[in-house]
Each structure stands twice: as C-alpha cells, then as structure tokens.
Structure 1
Amino acid sequence: MFVMTIDQKDSRNSADRVPELLDLLGTLDLDLPFERTVGDEVQGVTSSAGTVVDAALLALRQGGWSVGIGVGEVSLPLPASSREAGGDAFVAARDAVERAKKTGDRPPLAVASAGTGPGAAPETVAAVAQAEAVLILIARLVCGRSPAEWRILEHVEPHKWGAKTEAARMLGVSPQAVSNAVRRSGWQEEWAARPAAAVLLERADRAAGGNQS
C-alpha cells in the first residue's frame, strides 16, 4: 500500500491552499481519499501505484507543496479516515515528506519505506531509491514548464493519435506551435515514463512487504 503525505510550503506566510489541493486530488480514485490531517497537510491512501504518480505530479505542478510517499504495510481493515489508520507506510510517509522539504533545488518529493533504515535489506533500499529517482526526473519536466506551455499541453491528450492537430484547432494556433510546445516540454517523455515510475513503486512496495491488492 502507499500513503501520501503532502505538506504546504511556507504556510505561515501564505494563504491556506489545502482546500484547493483537496479539490484537485478529489478526482483521483483512492482507498482513503485525501483529507486534511493537521494544519496545512493532507494525507491519502491507495493501493494503486499509478494513482500515486498522478497525485504526486498534480501537486508538484501547482508548486508550493512537498510530497512524501510511504510504501509498506497499512493496518487492515481500513477505517473511514486516514487519520484513524496506522501501519509502517504512515511512518514512512512522514519520513519522506520531512526529507522532501529539504531537497533544495530538486523537486520536493521523496519516497521512503520503514524498511530502508540501518540494517535494511539491500533490495528494499535499492527499490525505493530507484522509484524516487525516476519520479524526480519526471517531476523536473513537470515543474520546469512555463505557463504558456501548460496552456497548450492542457489540450493535448496523451497517447491519442491526432491530439496535437486537435489541440491546435481548439486553441486557434498553428500545429507547429503545438508541436514545439510538446517537444520543448518533454510531454511525450513524461507520459512514456509514468508507467515505469509506477512499476518501480510497485517493486518498492513488494520489497517493503506492503499489503498486496
């Protein structure tokens, strides 16, 4: 299972953005939906690695959020709220978000497992590190795009034949302008790499002894 803890950065000097983030993440299918846990922090639980990738990149695109992903066991049966749940994955998510806050110029995202501390199995440490590395590479693409590029990319449906032509017609711009935005932004590379990130998260979860769906 995966637990995600997402914390607002510099919340003491900015408006509360939690409701906005909850609306955004509310479109995702989770085992326990995201909810405010304490202060400016939200938490959710899912058995889907693909959903983890989607949620992480949605939050990072908004800017101003630190994303922690915990992999491992969650106590079953699940309660009605993540605030009432427990398990190693919750501890790992807390460790991950605290580390994500200290990543400097790197996208503020981290993956952790309760089994990656001193004496942890090498395969668990490696699996968690590999999942984090690929997510960071994808996050760099997402976080590095300009508003002008996003205005175009929002209309380019991934993996759809003719999507760029359709977007150009909808936006009233040239197909070349859309193609340039797609190329510069790494749009196709992002969507090609998302499944790989999900596979690596699943591997990390298995290595950490997480609940299997």
Structure 2
Amino acid sequence: MDVVVLTVDQDESRTGLDQVPTALDALRAVPCLRPFERTVGDELQGLLDDPAALPAALEPLLRSGGWNIGIGLGPVETPLPDQARAGRGEAYLAAREAVTAAKSSPWRLRVNGASPATRALESAIWLWAALLARRTERGWQVSDLVDEGLTYDQAATRLGITQSAVSQRAAAAGIAEGRRARELVEFLTGTALEGPR
C-alpha cells in the first residue's frame, strides 16, 4: 500500500514558542488515513492516501512558515497501527530522510520516494511555496473568502471594498495561479502514488 507520510519539524523550536498545537488545529480538517499528531518534541506526523490531502495539508504549513517539511512516498507495512507515529515502511524512512534534508533546502521542504514523479512533485511544491510567500495579509483575506466559495463581488461586500480592489488583490496574490498549483500538486501526488504502469 503506497501512501504519503508527512513528517514536519518546527524550525528553531528551542528559541521560539511551541507551534505544534496551532499546526495540529490547522490540519484537523485534512482527510487523513491516520491523523496528524505530535510524535516527539516539536515534530508532528500524518499519513495520507488521498492525493488531494497533500496540498490541503501543505498550504497552512507553508502559509505560517517556520517548518521543516519532509514528504515521503511509498509503501507502508499493513495492517496499519491506530496512530501515524507507530507505522513502519519505506514511506516513513523516506519522510525521515526528507525532513532532515529539508533543513538546508529551498522552502525547507523535500520530497522523497522511488517514483519518477517525485522530483516533479517537489519542483511544483517549491514553485507554489514561492507564490504563497509573496502573498500579503490582504491577499490572504481575499484568498480565504474565495476558498469559502464567495465571488469577488461577495468578497468585496464582506471586506467593505470595491470589486475592482478585490480583483487587484487577487491578481497580486496569485489566486488563480495558486489554484492551479494546488491542482498540479494533487495530480503529481496521485501520479507518484500510482507508480509506473
């Protein structure tokens, strides 16, 4: 059974506040095979089998920053234990190697796995992370409302600004490009999990 293991380690946790509870709260809505939980210290881990779950998990982590993110793709031993941290298999080893390598990598994120799609997936996530990093708080306001299903007109009413101002914020925030990036990450995750045919 091929899955995605996310191992996420808080960066510079010894000098800052513990951000794991906030991250776990943000990840609670992500559909997981085994939900995210603290493993040890400032680290958390989750097990995913739905390609759409990876971008859903990554976006809040990339948005908040301050994380070393290791993504491992591959098989795990079955039957699965009740908790993500108790699992074993190649995907876990790949995630551990990835989170270690992430500490000196672009956007503090690495993807590791045997699939030929792994490098393409990592590249897509790095490009998406670059787009999200330039997004301002105003851009995130519009993005959040659009993600709730609001039109630009409705978002303008909610924010008390003109529809033109919403459109400008959306363009500056790269909302259309961000949606495409999420779709691409989902597609490449599915490709990597399926493996060669």
Provide the TM-score with structure 1 as the length reference: 0.86
Deviations for 1:9-65, whole angstroms, at most 9, x for unmatched residues? 000100111011001101111010000001100000010111011101211101111
Structure 1 runs (4+) deviating above 3 angstroms are: none
8 Å CA contact retained: 1:107, 1:143 = no
| Residues in 2 aligned to 1:77 and 1:85: alpha-carbon distance in whole angstroms | 9
Aligned partner of 2:183: which letter? P
Query: Are 2:175 and 1:173 equivalent residues in the alignment?
Result: no
| Number of corresponding residues | 195
Corresponding residue for residue 109 of structure 2: 109
Deviation of 1:109 after TM superposition, in Å, equals 1.5
Q: Which runs of 5+ in 2 are unaligned?
A: none
SS in 2 for 1:7: strand
Corresponding residue for residue 144 of structure 2: 154
Give the share of equivalent positions with the same residue, in percent: 36
How do 1:34-183 residues align onto structure 2 when only pairs under 5 Å count? 34-103=36-105, 106-113=106-113, 115=114, 124=115, 126-157=116-147, 163-183=151-171
Deviation of 1:153 after TM superposition, in Å, equals 2.2
| Residues in 2 aligned to 1:208 and 1:42: alpha-carbon distance in whole angstroms | 30
Deviation of 1:157 after TM superposition, in Å, equals 2.9
Query: Are 2:193 and 1:202 equivalent residues in the alignment?
Result: no
Q: Which runs of 5+ in 1 are unaligned?
A: 116-123
Deviation of 1:208 after TM superposition, in Å, equals 8.0
Deviation of 1:142 after TM superposition, in Å, equals 1.2
Deviations for 1:150-193, whole angstroms, at most 9, x for unmatched residues? 123221237x5x71111001111011111011111111111122
| Residues in 1 aligned to 2:41 and 2:136: alpha-carbon distance in whole angstroms | 30
SS in 1 for 2:26: helix
Deviation of 1:148 after TM superposition, in Å, equals 2.4
Provide the TM-score with structure 2 as the length reference: 0.93
| Residues in 2 aligned to 1:82 and 1:193: alpha-carbon distance in whole angstroms | 27
